[in-house]
A and B are shown apart, each in its own frame.
Chain A
């Protein structure tokens, strides 16, 4: 399957990420998608997700033999620059564990990073929007169903909060179900979740805190040197091998008729609100969304008057609203 899909007509595309951003904060949406100003550096946690995603993409594109998959994934990760060496270890070891867990019997792949566009449909009339259309990229497309990869720090055990949230409400699964259908594929979303490595590299004990035994050796919980990436790798490998179910989980996520109807109504209404904001040129800030996961929003400085969105040392202008979607005019 080709990666890009030609458009029936050139309507602006809205993606699930864009809708999610607008739901979170109309002002952030304007800065990120209308002005296309993006922070120069992604947050650390996002960087690991992107890094691992690159490896997984190569893994799924490779021949089905586990050795070929591992080689492709590790080469893809190797090719990335400016990666924290410990993040690189985490990603590489997670790829090896992933192959051990899922390498055998992986379904036949129809497409990787399969791009879709689909009409945004008014759920009341069934008519397609003349203002926007939906778009996105499916991580892996099978003959029956598709797959989305996720990395998380949450507990991914069966029946846990993570799965409850995804099960019926996750908007990405709902939109991508529509997207897969637009590519001619029915079927469920296999949610392929990889838990981030919770271990951290051991750091050298500050000199003033070091305690020595009478024979001159350091006490067991004290260190003279930082743990090297290779030493850290040994610990990570062992931990993943001992706890595969902690690190890897898959679930078949389905959308029932009423889920799809609810999602269609949600998307339509959000798109209308986006359009109204554009026409009125009003993008209200949502102060309740400034702090998430213990971090400030990347545009916090701009909204609070401490930085300028025009500052090229902090922000760049993206080439399009959705750089990840090639060949779609956005």
Chain B
């Protein structure tokens, strides 16, 4: 086959259309599951962090030497011309000791525990907050997706209602892990599809070899999403992006048309709705909220009429 007729198989998976708002994704899982590969499927990614996970991937990468270097890089991405559309922090647990080094240098301590009473971790949490605010700024200014990757660890959950059990958590200090999970629009737990099998009173774990992403919390792991994703997805950026796109709000024009159609049924509230419609402009979130409100009003009044 000549070069002119060569078809790149990846091209077959290309999907058209854009994601409405830049994504804040936290994906975590065990070593080698394919977290970096997942992030490499994001639009024009730039990886910052250790090179181990991306060594086999043809991606742009940079390894900052210090915590402040990370901020310098984000500042450049926010202010300079470039083609990157996704920033990938690979991984948060790689960045954590760098953050601690920074905090220790500021506080004149040798180790994070030397602050005493957990104060070092509190100071580190402020640094994480600072980093997330810079990432938010990057999203707002350059509409870049932000993907944070992290390794998982198994920790025992002290169950107040029964026996303690093990669950997967982020391989980070609890405070930083909590903040990252709260900040992210989606927390995906990446894992091999696993089944358990009881034989002769013994439970054995079997995996199918398939790599999946869990999108909602279960007893065994944390996960969440604000996109209405299915509970499990194959471990692939395209699958994730398709799920997000499917649940993205309608375009502003469609929302405006829907609200306009509901106006005559709103009775006394129609004037208020018209004013709100004018105020909302093309803001899809405001329009979605207004459409929800109008639908609710119409639904209540039609229920009253039937009763």
Residues of A within 8 A of B (CB): 124-127, 157-160, 163-164, 167-168, 186, 188, 245, 251-258
Contacts and interface: CB of A to CB of B under 8 A. Distances in A.
B130 A254 contact: yes
A157 B136 contact: no
A257 B133 CA distance: 8
A255 B279 CA distance: 26
Nearest to A259: B129
A159 B123 contact: yes
B103 A167 contact: no
Nearest to A186: B137
A257 to B, nearest CB: 6
B182 interface: yes
B129 A168 contact: yes
A164 B133 CA distance: 17
Given A126-B279, A127-B279, A163-B122, A257 B289 contact: no
Contact of A127 (B115, B136, B183, B276): B276
Given A126-B283, A258-B182, A188 B130 contact: yes
Contact of A159 (B115, B129, B276, B285): B115
B280 interface: yes
B133 A126 contact: no
Contacts, number: 66
B129 A256 contact: yes
B276 A160 contact: no
A126 B107 contact: no
A258 B226 CA distance: 13
The 7 A-B residue pairs whose C-beta atoms are closest, nearest first, are: A159-B119, A254-B133, A159-B123, A159-B122, A158-B107, A158-B123, A126-B286
B280 A159 contact: no
A254 B118 CA distance: 21
B132 interface: yes
A167 B290 CA distance: 34
A160 B129 CA distance: 16
Given A125-B289, A157-B107, A159-B122, 5 more contacts: A159-B120, A163-B126, A188-B133, A252-B126, A256-B136
A160 B133 contact: no
A162 to B, nearest CB: 11
Interface residues of B, number: 30
Contact of A126 (B125, B137, B182, B289): B289
B121 interface: yes
Interface in B72-120: 103, 106-108, 115, 118-120
Nearest to A166: B126
A255 B137 CA distance: 11
| Chain A binding surface, main DSSP class | loop
A167 B129 contact: yes
Nearest to B137: A186
Nearest to A257: B136
B130 to A, nearest CB: 5
B72 to A, nearest CB: 14
B115 A158 contact: yes
Interface string B193-224: 00000000000000000000000000000000
B120 to A, nearest CB: 6
Contacts of B276: 125, 127
A255 B129 CA distance: 8
A255 B133 contact: yes
B158 to A, nearest CB: 24
A256 B290 CA distance: 25
A286 B175 CA distance: 34
A252 B132 CA distance: 13
A158 B182 contact: no
Interface centre among B133, B182, B276 (most CB of A within 10 A): B133
A256 B137 CA distance: 10
B60 to A, nearest CB: 27
10 contacts: A125-B276, A126-B289, A157-B107, A158-B123, A159-B119, A159-B120, A159-B124, A163-B123, A188-B133, A254-B133
B102 to A, nearest CB: 11
Contacts of A126: 279-280, 283, 285-286, 289
Given A163-B126, A188-B133, A258-B182, A158 B280 contact: no
Given A158-B106, A159-B123, A124 B289 contact: yes
A261 to B, nearest CB: 12
B183 A258 contact: yes
Contacts of A127: 276, 279
A167 B126 contact: yes
B185 to A, nearest CB: 10
B286 A256 contact: no
A163 B115 CA distance: 14
A231 B81 CA distance: 60
B132 A251 contact: no
A256 B286 CA distance: 20
A125 to B, nearest CB: 7
Interface centre among A167, A251, A257 (most CB of B within 10 A): A257
